[in-house]
Amino acid sequence: MKQVLSVFTLLVLASRVSAFDIEECNWKGKLENVVHPAHKNVRMFYNDQVAVYNLDYEEPAACSYALAIVLPDVTAEIPMRKCVEISCFSGIDIKNAKSSYDPIKGLLLTIPYRVYNGGGTDPAKEPVQIRVNLQNASVRVE
């Protein structure tokens, strides 16, 4: 019975570590959390309209990295920018991020990342794919 509970506990922890959290940046996405050197940890996409920042909150260590995606907020009454954070990575390889564009779906970002393996990190089997739709100012993980 103890082994069954231990396996169950590991499966629950693994599912939490591999799931991404998506929320508005609010106070959480502070500049001091941009991974340094900063100029190597920000990428611009889609004619410089979309900025992606690599963040590190240091804790919890298994998923301390996050992406802050800043884009025009076309839903606002006056021209503004919107920030969406996707978190719970063990590392992010932002310099190898790729992008493609679909006129109907929007911008697709494909970003390699790392996952926690219990004693360190390993590259994820597949990069995370993030859809950024500038027509409705939305961001989602695919």
Among residues of the chain, what percentage have pLDDT more than 70?
85
Whether pTM exceeds 0.85: no
CA 100 distance to own-chain centroid: 17
Question: In the prediction, which pLDDT does 137 show?
Answer: 94
Q: Is the pLDDT of residue 59 over 70?
A: yes
Q: 13-17, 87-91, 124-128, 134-138: which has the minimum mean pLDDT?
A: 13-17
Residue 18 has pLDDT above 50, yes or no: no
Q: Check residue 79 and report its DSSP letter.
A: -
Assess whether pLDDT exceeds 90 at residue 47: yes
- Predicted pLDDT of residue 65: 95
More confident residue, 87 or 18: 87
Tell whether the model's pLDDT for residue 2 goes beyond 70: no
Cα radius of gyration (the chain): 16
Instruction: Please give the share of the chain, as a percent, with pLDDT higher than 90.
Output: 63
Distance of CA 82 to the CA centre of its chain: 15
**Which two structure tokens, joined as six digits, stand for 15?**
């599912």
> Cβ atoms within 10 A of the Cβ of 130, count?
23
Give the start-end residues of each E strand in the chain.
21-24, 42-45, 50-56, 65-73, 80-89, 91-92, 98-102, 106-111, 113-116, 121-123, 128-133, 138-141
Q: Which amino acid is at 49?
A: Q
